[in-house]
Structure 1
Amino acid sequence: MKRRDFLKSGAKGSLASGLLLTGANLEAKDKSPGHGLVSNRSKDNWQQLSNGEKGTPERFKNINYKVVVIGGGMAGICAAVASAREGVKTLLVQDRSVLGGNASSEIRVLVNGVNHLQPDWIPERETGLIEEILLHNRFLNPQESFSVWDHVLYDFVIRETHLDLLLNTQAINVEMKGSTIKKAICWQTSTETEFHISAEQFIDCSGDGLLAATAGAEYRTGREAGSEFNEKYAPKEADGWQMGASLLIAGKDMGKPTPYTPPSFAIPFDLKKSHPKRKVRSFNEGYWWVEVGSQNDIIADQNEIQEKLMGYVHGVWDYIKNSGEYEGTENYALEWIGSVPGRRESRRFMGDHILSERDLVDHHHFDDAVAYGGWSLDEHNPGGIENLEEPPSYFHYHFKKIYQIPFRSLYSKNIDNLLFSGRNISQTHIALSSTRVMATCALMGQATGTAAAMCVNHKTNPRGIYKKHIKTLQEKLLINDAFIPDHPSVDTNDKVKEALQITASSTKSGNASLLNDGWSRDFNGKEHHWASTSLPATVNIDWEAPVDLSSVIVKCDTNVKMNIMMRNNYNNKKIYTDKVPPELLKSLSLQAKIEGKWVDLGSLDNNQTRRIKFNFDQIKTTSIRIKMNETYGLDYVKLFEVKAFENTIIT
Structure 2
Amino acid sequence: MKRREFFKKGSKAAIAAGVIPMVTTSCGSSQSMAYDKDKDKWYHLGTGKSGMPNRKETVGFDVAVIGGGAAGICAAVAAARNGSKTVLVQDRPVLGGNASSEMRVHLNGVNNIKGKAERETGIIEEILLHNRFENEQESFPVFDHVMYDFVVREPNLTLMLNTQAIEAVMEGNTIKSALCWQATTEKLITINAPIFIDCSGDGLLAATAGAEYRTGREGKAEFNETYAPDEPDGWQMGATLLMSSKDMGRPMKYSPPSYAIKYSHEGASPRRKFAGFQDGIWWIEIGSDDDIIADAEKNRHKLMGYLHGVWDYIKNSGHFPEAENLALDWVGSLPARRESRRFIGDYIMSEKDMTGHKHFEDAVAFGGWSLDEHNPGGIENISEPPSYFHYHFEKIYEFPFRSLYSKNISNLMFAGRNVSQTHIALSSSRIMATCALQGQAVGTAASICNKNRILPREVAQKHINALQEQLLRDDAFIPNRPAKDPLDLARQASLIFASTTTTGDVKNLTNGMSRDIDSTINHWQSEGLGAHVQLEWETPVNLTKVELKCDTNVKRNIMMRKDSKNDDLYGNSVPKEMLKSLQLQGRVDGAWVNLGEISENKTRLIKFSFNSTKVSAIKINMTATYGAKNVKLFEVRCYA
- Scaled by the length of structure 2, what TM-score is found? 0.96
Please say if residues 185 and 195 of structure 1, whose CA atoms lie closer than 8 Å, have aligned partners that are also in contact. Answer: yes
Match of 2:192 in 1: 198
Return 36-45 or 220-229, whichever deviates more: 36-45
What is the CA-CA distance between 1:263 and the residue it aligns to? Answer: 0.6
Match of 1:177 in 2: 171
What is the CA-CA distance between 1:124 and the residue it aligns to? Answer: 1.9
State the alpha-carbon separation in 1 of the partners of residues 379 and 441 from structure 2.
36
Q: Identity of paired residues, percent?
A: 59
Q: Identify the match of residue 15 of structure 1 among 18, 21, 31.
A: 18
Aligned length: 627
State the alpha-carbon separation in 1 of the partners of residues 115 and 612 from structure 2.
46
Say which SS state the counterpart of residue 314 (structure 1) adopts: helix
Match of 2:383 in 1: 389
What is the CA-CA distance between 1:36 and the residue it aligns to? Answer: 4.4
Please say if residues 23 and 35 of structure 2, whose CA atoms lie closer than 8 Å, have aligned partners that are also in contact. Answer: no
What is the CA-CA distance between 1:619 and the residue it aligns to? Answer: 1.0
Match of 2:89 in 1: 93
Q: Identify the match of residue 558 of structure 1 among 521, 542, 552.
A: 552
Q: Identify the match of residue 133 of structure 1 among 127, 131, 138.
A: 127
**Structure 1 residues 441 and 12: CA distance shift in structure 2, 3 A:** closer
State the alpha-carbon separation in 2 of the partners of residues 19 and 312 from structure 1.
35
Please say if residues 15 and 166 of structure 2, whose CA atoms lie closer than 8 Å, have aligned partners that are also in contact. Answer: no
Deviations 1:101-138 (CA, angstroms, capped at 9, x unpaired):
11110010110000121xx4544210000000000000
What is the CA-CA distance between 1:284 and the residue it aligns to? Answer: 2.6
Q: Identify the match of residue 113 of structure 1 among 82, 92, 109.
A: 109
State the alpha-carbon separation in 2 of the partners of residues 352 and 325 from structure 1.
52
Could you tell me which amino acid in structure 2 is paired with residue 390 of structure 1?
A: E
Gaps (5+ residues) in structure 2?
1-13
Please say if residues 36 and 194 of structure 1, whose CA atoms lie closer than 8 Å, have aligned partners that are also in contact. Answer: no
Deviations 1:486-534 (CA, angstroms, capped at 9, x unpaired):
1010111100110112111111100100001100100111000000110
State the alpha-carbon separation in 2 of the partners of residues 272 and 142 from structure 1.
41
State the alpha-carbon separation in 1 of the partners of residues 319 and 116 from structure 2.
34
**Structure 1 residues 332 and 355: CA distance shift in structure 2, 3 A:** same
State the alpha-carbon separation in 2 of the partners of residues 101 and 50 from structure 1.
40
Cα RMSD, aligned residues only: 1.6
**Within the alignment, does 1:84 sit opposite 2:76 as a pair?**
no
Please say if residues 39 and 193 of structure 1, whose CA atoms lie closer than 8 Å, have aligned partners that are also in contact. Answer: no
Say which SS state the counterpart of residue 390 (structure 2) adopts: coil
State the alpha-carbon separation in 2 of the partners of residues 415 and 185 from structure 1.
17
Match of 2:276 in 1: 282
1:506-585 superposed matches below 5 A: 506-571=500-565, 573-585=567-579
What is the CA-CA distance between 1:17 and the residue it aligns to? Answer: 11
Deviations 1:597-649 (CA, angstroms, capped at 9, x unpaired):
00100011100000000001111111100011000011110000000011xxx
Please say if residues 175 and 183 of structure 1, whose CA atoms lie closer than 8 Å, have aligned partners that are also in contact. Answer: yes
State the alpha-carbon separation in 2 of the partners of residues 554 and 121 from structure 1.
25
Match of 1:324 in 2: 318
Gaps (5+ residues) in structure 1?
1-10, 647-651
Match of 2:27 in 1: 26
Misfit runs of 4+, over 3 Å = 11-22, 120-123
Could you tell me which amino acid in structure 1 is paired with residue 66 of structure 2?
A: I
Match of 1:4 in 2: none
Say which SS state the counterpart of residue 419 (structure 1) adopts: strand
Match of 1:70 in 2: 66
Could you tell me which amino acid in structure 1 is paired with residue 147 of structure 2?
A: L
What is the CA-CA distance between 1:50 and the residue it aligns to? Answer: 1.1
**Structure 1 residues 596 and 196: CA distance shift in structure 2, 3 A:** same
**Within the alignment, does 1:344 sit opposite 2:338 as a pair?**
yes
What is the CA-CA distance between 1:155 and the residue it aligns to? Answer: 0.3
**Structure 1 residues 12 and 522: CA distance shift in structure 2, 3 A:** closer
Q: Identify the match of residue 263 of structure 1 among 249, 257, 264.
A: 257
What is the CA-CA distance between 1:342 and the residue it aligns to? Answer: 0.3
State the alpha-carbon separation in 2 of the partners of residues 572 and 65 from structure 1.
43
Q: Identify the match of residue 37 of structure 2 among 36, 41, 46.
A: 41
- Scaled by the length of structure 1, what TM-score is found? 0.94
State the alpha-carbon separation in 1 of the partners of residues 498 and 196 from structure 2.
46
**Structure 1 residues 263 and 123: CA distance shift in structure 2, 3 A:** farther
Match of 2:453 in 1: 459
